[in-house]
Amino acid sequence: MKRLLNKVAVVTGAGRGIGKAVASHYAREGAAVVIAEIDEALGEKLAGELVRDGGKAEFVKTDLNQLSDIDALMTQVGSCFGRLDILVNNAAVTKSLDFFEVSEQDWDWIHNVNTKGLFFCMQAAARVMKEQGGGKIVNIASIAGKGYPATSNVAYAGSKGAAIAMTRIGASSLARHNINVNAICPGVTRTDLYYEVMRGRVQSTGKSEQEIIAALDASIPLRRSNEPEDIADLAVFLASDEARNVTGQSWNVDGGLMWD
């Protein structure tokens, strides 16, 4: 039995990495997936692939810096499917920066997407879910938000700490509307963004990419970094009826790096 049959899900930043894995898993589990992605080529490509594989998918170009885009996204979801059962707030940005290198421009860029965009997507989706009697929100945070010291930069860590806090407050505020809100906190995960950060560390340390990756994997108790699918598997559970009484939690998927 498909666990998300006849559900409608929005996945932000679904063009690549974790978002793409989540969207693909959801489609296989029977959900109609709305790919909210700023990169038009990536979004259309994934939507086409999911449809060719027998799934239901729509691409909506969405810039989370623009609240008007978030409103337009929800309007289009309503027009296409008439409801919204699941939101996965996955879209995020970062780059490798030393503590003293973080500029105001870096801070605003990171927090506009990772914090402001996440909240207003959550708020807009919750308005729809409230009217229809419930839904599931899954925020992709990070162990950086719990103080993981090898984070890409302090502004990113702050944005992910905010995502965890907003998940908890959101769960408390929305429980009376039968809306579950949870966060997934990935550890080291091999996405395009991960390799961008690795290239930044190559430049700042003078070490090779292979050396940096090997050292990271060696620091993980299970001795392996995540693949995007490791995150997607948990995202399916949290969006399913199996997790109907799970809310306000921040789940680590990190091979044992963090314990809280």
Per residue in 109-125, is it b (16+ CB within 10 Å) or e — as a string? Answer: bbbbbbbbbbbbbbebb
pLDDT of residue 97: 92
Helix (H) / strand (E) containing 76: helix 67-81
| Whole-model pTM over 0.75 | yes
Tokens 């932000």 belong to 12
* Blockwise average pLDDT, block size 10, the chain, 260 residues: 96 96 98 98 97 96 96 96 97 93 98 98 98 98 95 96 98 98 94 77 81 85 93 98 98 95
- What is the second-level CATH architecture of the domain 8-188+227-253? 3-Layer(aba) Sandwich (3.40)
Tokens 């044992």 belong to 256
pLDDT of residue 63: 96
User: What is the secondary structure of 23-70 as a DSSP string?
Assistant: HHHHHHTT-EEEEEES-HHHHHHHHHHHHHTT-EEEEEE--TT-HHHH
**Tokens (6 digits) for 40:** 């038009």
| Rounded Cα gap, residues 225 and 207, in angstroms | 19
User: What is the secondary structure of 2-16 as a DSSP string?
Assistant: -TTTT-EEEEETTTS
Helix (H) / strand (E) containing 77: helix 67-81
pLDDT of residue 125: 98
pLDDT of residue 110: 97
**Tokens (6 digits) for 228:** 């995007």
Ranges of each domain in the chain: 8-188+227-253
| Rounded Cα gap, residues 66 and 48, in angstroms | 25
Q: Which of 26, 148, 156, 194 is the catalytic position? A: 156
pLDDT of residue 190: 84
pLDDT of residue 195: 78
| Rounded Cα gap, residues 22 and 138, in angstroms | 11
pLDDT of residue 213: 80
pLDDT of residue 24: 98
Q: If you ran DSSP here, which 8-state letter would residue 225 be given? A: P
Q: Is 156 a catalytic residue?
A: yes
